[in-house]
Amino acid sequence: MPLQYAVTGGLSAVESGLRVTSRGLALGVTGMQATMQGFEASRRSLDLFVEDPLLVTEAPRATDIVLTTAPVVTGIARDQRRETSSAQRERRGQQIRSAFTDLGPAFVKLGQTLSVRPDLVPEEYIDALEELQDQVPPAPWDRVEAVIEDELGPVDEVFDDFEREPLAGASLGQVYRAELDGEPVAVKVRRPDIEARVQRDLRLVESAVPVASAFLDDGRAFTLETIVDQFADTLREELDYEREAEVMEQVRANFADDDRVKVPAAVDSHTTGRVLTMEYVDGTKISEHGALDSMAIDRADLANRLRETYLQMTLVDGVFHADPHPGNVAVQPDGTLVLYDFGMAGELDPDVQADIVDFFVAISQGDVTAILEALVELGTLDPAAAETGDDALGEVVERFVERTRAGEFDAQEFEALVDALEEAFYEMPFRLPPNLALVLRVIAITDGVANTLDPEHDFFGVIDDVLADRGFLDEDATESAIEA
């Protein structure tokens, strides 16, 4: 018996030793991976300094960016390998939000772009980045006046009257009230020197992508490069006020026969790349619920019309206002929706519109297989993952569809299911093509606005109504409606 106990004890000790050794080897491999990532990032950094003279000429700004972001870079790499807890990732998300805020407009815009990318960042980052806001004091009037004079001429000669205090402002531009030919107008002026600052920071961000990619797997590294390219294009477009005027006129024409939606008319004679003059259209911010109630506005109906308006722009028109936060959407006393600020806008070609319609139809019909197929057609999901019927994503989508169609959601459960979807997307070979990123942004922002207007708001009910009204539940009618 003593011999048996000794043998058993020895085997147990060997087994324990093997487990400890295995854990040690795993930690060693992880440490080696981190070391290799750090080495590769250092090598790429040295290459950048040799290849890109901007990193030398703008060394102070580059150093500021590095010092501000360095504390979170290692943590991001650990989060990407899922070696941290949810609480740690929440803290990291808050660190990133604070760093982007400190670094200024280009980084605030980058953070807002990442906030709708569950394929690239964990849900905890998304929660933090959704709260990013521009925090920039107004530029001095004398500098703003110089921009107007460079573009149009002396302010008092080209306008009948011009108020010196801005009505609204953000990181890229400021809006003033003025009078032209006896009519009130709004004048949006690009902030002085903002283009040079943004272009510099965009170059620095683009230069940093190869370094950041060293800490990511190949799929997410490719996605990061794509999203930075898209973000840079979008931000440069936001700086071009002539382009914004063109988009405004397109959307305005699309709603010409709908007196429930108002888009200000651009004044071409007083619009340039840095100054946008438009019809002055007053309204109450859609988030001012007390004021809406005092005007006897039906908030439930308003929430539905907000959704319908943006679904029309994306599913039917193909040109859409992509920044529907409460500061950019107002309501007139008769309930008319007013849309402001078309700097951030998107365009969809008919094929993509049809694929989005197929996705919504699949949700409407509760067809999980069709949902996954639509995601493949949209380029968001690897076909192999859909064909194998990935359990994690399939189960979450199925649960989402079942509860949606049954109308059994409460706010907490809906949020938990969205979190589960984001987690599945992050873990899977899920990618969000650039042309869908703005669509997702619109859906996310209008969801928040609609649900605060009406806590009982039924997004999927609105989708069903729009699909039925537009004939999208009929395959032939879907194609003809989009082509028209």
Assess whether 458 carries a catalytic annotation: no
CA 364 remoteness from chain centre? 25
Angstrom distance (rounded) from CA 78 to CA 38: 12
Task: Using alpha carbons, list the distances in angstroms from residue 484 to 247, 252, 350, 479, 481.
Answer: 19, 17, 10, 9, 5
Q: Find the catalytic residue in 127, 201, 323, 390.
A: 323
Which sign, positive or negative, has the C-alpha torsion 461, 464, 466, 468?
A: negative
Element (H, E) at 175: strand 173-180
Angstrom distance (rounded) from CA 418 to CA 127: 12
**438, 346 contact by CB (below 8 A):** yes
R_g of the chain computed on alpha carbons:
26
Single-letter amino acid, residue 479 = E
Each as own residue / partner, the long-range contacts of residues 148-153 (CB below 8 Å, 24 or more positions apart, any chain) are 148/187, 148/189, 148/275, 150/274, 151/272, 151/273, 151/274, 151/275, 152/270, 152/272, 152/275
3-state secondary structure (DSSP) of residue 240: coil
CB within 8 A of 461, min separation 6: which ones? Answer: none
Q: Which residues form the catalytic set?
A: 323
